[in-house]
Amino acid sequence: MAFDIDMIKKVYAQMAERVDKAREVVGKPLTLSEKILYNHLWDGTPSKAFTRGKDYVDFAPDRIACQDATAQMALLQFMQAGKDNVAVPTTVHCDHLIQAKQGAKQDLKRANETSNEVFDFLGSVSNKFGIGFWAPGAGIIHQVVLENYAFPGGMMIGTDSHTVNAGGLGMIAIGVGGADAVDVMAGMAWELKFPKLIGVKLTGKLSGWTAPKDVILKVAEILTAKGGTGAVVEYFGPGATAMSCTGKGTICNMGAEIGATTSTFGYDDSMERYLRATDRADVADAANKVRPYLTADKEVYENPEQYFDQVIEINLSELGPLLNGPFTPDLSTQVGKDMTAKATKNDWPMQVEWSLIGSCTNSSYEDLSRASSIAKQALDKGLKLKTSLGINPGSEQVRYTTERDGILGLFEELGSTIFTNACGPCIGQWARYDDPKNAPKNSIVHSFNRNFAKRADGNPNTHAFVASPELTAAIALSGRLDFNPMTDTLLNEDGQEVKLDEPTGWELPPKGFEVKDNGYVAPHEDGSGIEVKVSSSSERLQLLTPFTPIKDSDMQGMKLLIKAFGKCTTDHISMAGPWLRFRGHLDNISNNCLIGAVNAFGKKTNFVKNQLTGEFGGVPDTQREYKKAGIYTVVVGDHNYGEGSSREHAAMEPRHLGVAAVIVKSFARIHETNLKKQGMLGLTFANEADYDLIQEDDTFNFVDIADFTPDTPLTVEIVHKDGNKDTIKVNHTYNAAQIEWYRKGSALNLIKEQNA
Ligand code: F3S
């Protein structure tokens, strides 16, 4: 299944009527985000205006994309839904399970040996149910989607947080849990709280060392890691149209790092150029015919404050390169300003050990081309690498074309390692150390999006900084965090001081893209005879059994499993790295449940009290003891609990092990929805300070769970060890349908019942 031009034409054909009607019901000019959202209502032509940040709305996405780690569980769930074929065009991309170690050829060969069972499973399920399959080595999901499937004005969901990357081509593309994807694959509506809208006006023009990456690093600094929560970020202005399509993709990609629902840009000439360069002239022609509907109304751009909930303005002509990190993507340092002082004060290792260019964020032709201009200068001026340098091209098309054009050759000549067209170090699939836990303190710089502790190499002492590909390449030549390529000189092999010129590059390959085998496998036209095999002795794949509904009587006498302290991302709840291999085996992967969360009592990870024995142990083991005793448990957490990725394992694992409720100060959107889908309770403290009431030996009684209804807080009685009690209110965002998921044990149980 290549891109589906008929589907795209259908989306455009209905656009005028629906968007014009939406403008009428909303009663004012529309932003681009609203146009796309109202054009994708499940119920068709809009009949009422929705309240941003409040109304739950059913949508009909045009496409679904899944990556290999999340696709396993999504497809295992879809197999339970009783359907012959996926209801909307869907693709599966094998990119997460390929470890970076020696280099592309050897690494891909090893991945094909070690993950053969999983790739075969994904290939055969795809073949059976009409899903397009991108084989290992074909590329990173979001780069492949941008090159093949994204289209202006479209709506896509994907089982990966960085699905948002497709906003670079004018889509509303949103990362979801596998359970949401299963709904849409099964032909059902997809529900989303109508988002708030943040407008980012870009004036001026990027130049010199400043790259699209710096725009989003700046936005992250302004909005912080939580600032985009529940909102679509819409970029506009002359600075936006002057930027390449893949540069826009970079900016939208890292919208996930500010918690945004998604980000998008209006259709412009750069998108048209990209569509034509990637062999989709027919999409560009179709988009040109509905051009006014693929950007906001002109009044919106003239008076953005009237139409967005928040407006930020950035003058790109004044923006300089940034280096964000360590440990969080919103901690910015302007290159040439405070790095020396900050690193000294915070004891960040100034010496950089590794520089990495790639990931779905920055692995386009333009990215590699601009970074290679730095590599070329190094070769010309007699400079050597001062750090190791690794490159992950974003797709086989990018790899083939950059190899043809001599770009990869420059990196190789400099001594870099070219890894597979895959995620590799970005998702902890980096065989950097034999014993990462005890590896030394060090700094790395990369052009990826995430830089949480342990994310890249499993080493908690690795300080990861995020930068543009060109700055990453420059730092690889200096070996220092505080290098300022705009003013500093470097000593070459002859002892001469040399200075780097500004990076240059090509937005698109001058000789066009080229690829011999892009790695795509089309599904069988009639998959009914295809058998999907899962061995009962497999340690990596396990067919699912439906979750049992949690009874009201189970919600009494519950024990505290863990009170998570501080940041608790989906990486803390369900760690990636070596655990990726168990993504398709719920019981096995549950052995990583919450092992990265810091227990508020004692401040250790994976060390909690078993209230039944008084002994301390790991979280999964302790939880399994409670389950054996027939006791459900509660997890307590801080702000933005579950931020990070869309993986529903972070909800399925606690559910599988017997956690019934998660009570936090606030949730990351996707994780909250995932908890709902799995038929458990995701709740927030009505009074945040009640977090402090929770003690290590607490027992919880959900006294009014029988009356669980929309818009009504629940009451929880907390019984402390000394017999004292606190009664608190907890809020929830469940609507009537979501309460039904809870009552049935999971959303999937309900789908199955409806399909029976
Ligand atoms: Fe892969 Fe990292 Fe992107 S894991 S999908 S390259 S965020």
Tracing tokens 């070329």 back to the chain, one arrives at: 376
pLDDT band with cut points at 50, 70 and 90 for residue 271? very high
Which residue in the list 160, 297, 690, 698 is annotated as catalytic?
A: 160
Find the 367 Cα to ligand 1 centroid distance in Å: 16
Q: Are 671 and 642 in contact (CB under 8 A)?
A: yes
Q: Closest ligand 1 atom, CA of 359?
A: 6
Short-list 218, 211, 214, 221, CA closest to 244: 211
Q: Distance between alpha carbon 457 and the CA centroid of its chain, in Å?
A: 18
- pLDDT score, position 414: 98
Short-list 596, 563, 543, CA closest to 696: 563
Q: Closest ligand 1 atom, CA of 363?
A: 6
All structural domains of the chain? 5-317 (3.30.499.10), 321-334+346-484 (3.30.499.10), 552-755 (3.20.19.10)
Short-list 109, 288, 96, 314, CA closest to 199: 314
Q: Which residues are near ligand 1 (CB < 6 Å)?
A: 95-96, 140-142, 160, 162, 359-360, 423, 426-427, 448-449
> Could you tell me the maximum CA-CA distance found in the chain, to the nearest angstrom?
79
- pLDDT score, position 753: 87
> At a CB cut-off of 8 Å and minimum separation 6, what does 502 contact?
207, 208, 209
Q: Interhelix angle for 68-78 vs 116-129, to 10°?
A: 50
Q: Are 355 and 388 in contact (CB under 8 A)?
A: yes
From atom 1 of ligand 1, which residue's Cα is the shortest distance away?
A: 423
Amino acid at position 403, single letter:
E
Short-list 194, 163, 165, CA closest to 181: 163
Find the 589 Cα to ligand 1 centroid distance in Å: 20
Active-site residue 96, yes or no?
Answer: yes
Mutate to test the pocket of ligand 1, among 92, 98, 134, 160 (most ligand atoms within 8 A of CB): 160
Torsion of CA 702, 707, 708, 714, to 10 degrees: -50
pLDDT band with cut points at 50, 70 and 90 for residue 63? very high
Q: Are 519 and 138 in contact (CB under 8 A)?
A: yes
Radius of gyration over every alpha carbon of the chain, rounded to an integer in angstroms? 25
- pLDDT score, position 2: 46
Q: Are 356 and 383 in contact (CB under 8 A)?
A: no
Distance between CA 223 and CA 30 in Å, rounded? Answer: 24
Find the 419 Cα to ligand 1 centroid distance in Å: 14
Find the 672 Cα to ligand 1 centroid distance in Å: 22
Active-site residue 280, yes or no?
Answer: no
Find the 359 Cα to ligand 1 centroid distance in Å: 5
Mutate to test the pocket of ligand 1, among 68, 91, 92, 95 (most ligand atoms within 8 A of CB): 95
Q: What's the pTM value of the predicted model, to 2 decimals? A: 0.88
- pLDDT score, position 393: 98
Q: DSSP string of 494-524? A: TS-EE-PPPP---SS-TT----S---EEPPP
Average pLDDT in the 284-292 region? 98
Tokens of residue 746, six digits: 């999971």
SS3 for 312? strand
pLDDT exceeds cutoff 80 at 134: yes
pLDDT digits (tens, 9 = 90+) for 338-375: 999 999 999 999 999 999 999 999 999 999 999 999 99
SS3 for 186? coil
pLDDT exceeds cutoff 50 at 55: yes
Residue 388 Ramachandran class (φ > 0 left, ψ -120 to 50 alpha, else beta): beta
SS3 for 146? helix
Find the 283 Cα to ligand 1 centroid distance in Å: 27
Average pLDDT in the 530-546 region? 91
Short-list 466, 300, 490, CA closest to 385: 490
Find the 272 Cα to ligand 1 centroid distance in Å: 26
> At a CB cut-off of 8 Å and minimum separation 6, what does 602 contact?
none
- pLDDT score, position 577: 74
- pLDDT score, position 3: 59
Distance between CA 428 and CA 652 in Å, rounded? Answer: 21
Percent of the chain with pLDDT over 70: 100
Q: How many degrees, rounded to 5, is the angle at CA 433 between CA 430 and CA 439?
A: 125
From atom 2 of ligand 1, which residue's Cα is the shortest distance away?
A: 426
Mutate to test the pocket of ligand 1, among 67, 140, 455 (most ligand atoms within 8 A of CB): 140
Taking the alpha carbons of 251, 252, 257, 259 in that order, is the dihedral positive or negative?
positive
SS3 for 189? coil
Q: Are 585 and 539 in contact (CB under 8 A)?
A: yes
CA distances from 624 to 545, 587, 617, 653 (A): 18, 11, 11, 11
- pLDDT score, position 505: 98
Distance between CA 434 and CA 104 in Å, rounded? Answer: 20
pLDDT exceeds cutoff 80 at 690: yes
Q: Are 3 and 277 in contact (CB under 8 A)?
A: no
Q: Are 450 and 325 in contact (CB under 8 A)?
A: no
Average pLDDT in the 44-56 region? 96
- pLDDT score, position 752: 83
Active-site residue 95, yes or no?
Answer: yes
Which residue in the list 468, 645, 646, 746 is annotated as catalytic?
A: 645
Q: Interhelix angle for 269-277 vs 281-289, to 10°?
A: 150
Taking the alpha carbons of 747, 748, 751, 756 in that order, is the dihedral positive or negative?
negative
Mutate to test the pocket of ligand 1, among 98, 165, 426 (most ligand atoms within 8 A of CB): 426
Short-list 68, 42, 59, 257, CA closest to 178: 68
From atom 5 of ligand 1, which residue's Cα is the shortest distance away?
A: 360
Short-list 77, 94, 132, CA closest to 678: 77
Q: How many CB atoms lie within 10 A of CB 306?
A: 11
Q: Closest ligand 1 atom, CA of 160?
A: 5
Q: Distance between alpha carbon 351 and the CA centroid of its chain, in Å?
A: 29
From atom 3 of ligand 1, which residue's Cα is the shortest distance away?
A: 360
Find the 184 Cα to ligand 1 centroid distance in Å: 23
CA distances from 36 to 22, 351, 563 (A): 10, 46, 40
Find the 301 Cα to ligand 1 centroid distance in Å: 33
Q: Are 190 and 176 in contact (CB under 8 A)?
A: yes
Distance between CA 423 and CA 392 in Å, rounded? Answer: 7
Active-site residue 40, yes or no?
Answer: no
Cis peptide before 326 (omega within 30 of 0): yes
pLDDT exceeds cutoff 60 at 149: yes
CA distances from 241 to 31, 219, 305, 364 (A): 16, 18, 20, 18
- pLDDT score, position 647: 80
Q: Interhelix angle for 469-478 vs 365-381, to 10°?
A: 20
From atom 4 of ligand 1, which residue's Cα is the shortest distance away?
A: 427
Q: Distance between alpha carbon 621 and the CA centroid of its chain, in Å?
A: 29
Q: How many degrees, rounded to 5, is the angle at CA 749 between CA 745 and CA 750?
A: 100
Q: DSSP string of 450-487? A: ---TTTTTS-TTEEEEE--HHHHHHHHHH-BTT--TTT
Q: Closest ligand 1 atom, CA of 450?
A: 7
Tokens of residue 243, six digits: 């930027």
DSSP structural state of residue 525:
S
Find the 260 Cα to ligand 1 centroid distance in Å: 17
Q: How many degrees, rounded to 5, is the angle at CA 673 between CA 543 and CA 253?
A: 95
Distance between CA 568 and CA 575 in Å, rounded? Answer: 11
Which residue in the list 40, 52, 96, 585 is annotated as catalytic?
A: 96
Active-site residue 291, yes or no?
Answer: no
Average pLDDT in the 194-222 region? 98
pLDDT exceeds cutoff 50 at 25: yes
Q: DSSP string of 575-637? A: --GGGGGGTB-HHHHGGGBTTTSBBTTTS-BS-EE-TTTS-EE-HHHHHHHHHHTT--EEEEE
- pLDDT score, position 455: 87
Residues in the chain: 756
Which residue in the list 446, 450, 540, 732 is annotated as catalytic?
A: 450
Q: Are 388 and 352 in contact (CB under 8 A)?
A: no
Average pLDDT in the 695-713 region? 98
Active-site residue 183, yes or no?
Answer: no
Distance between CA 342 and CA 676 in Å, rounded? Answer: 42
Q: How many CB atoms lie within 10 A of CB 340?
A: 15
Q: Distance between alpha carbon 303 and the CA centroid of its chain, in Å?
A: 32
Mean pLDDT of the chain: 96
Amino acid at position 199, single letter:
G
Strand-pair category, 442-446 with 310-315: unpaired
- pLDDT score, position 172: 98
Q: Closest ligand 1 atom, CA of 256?
A: 7
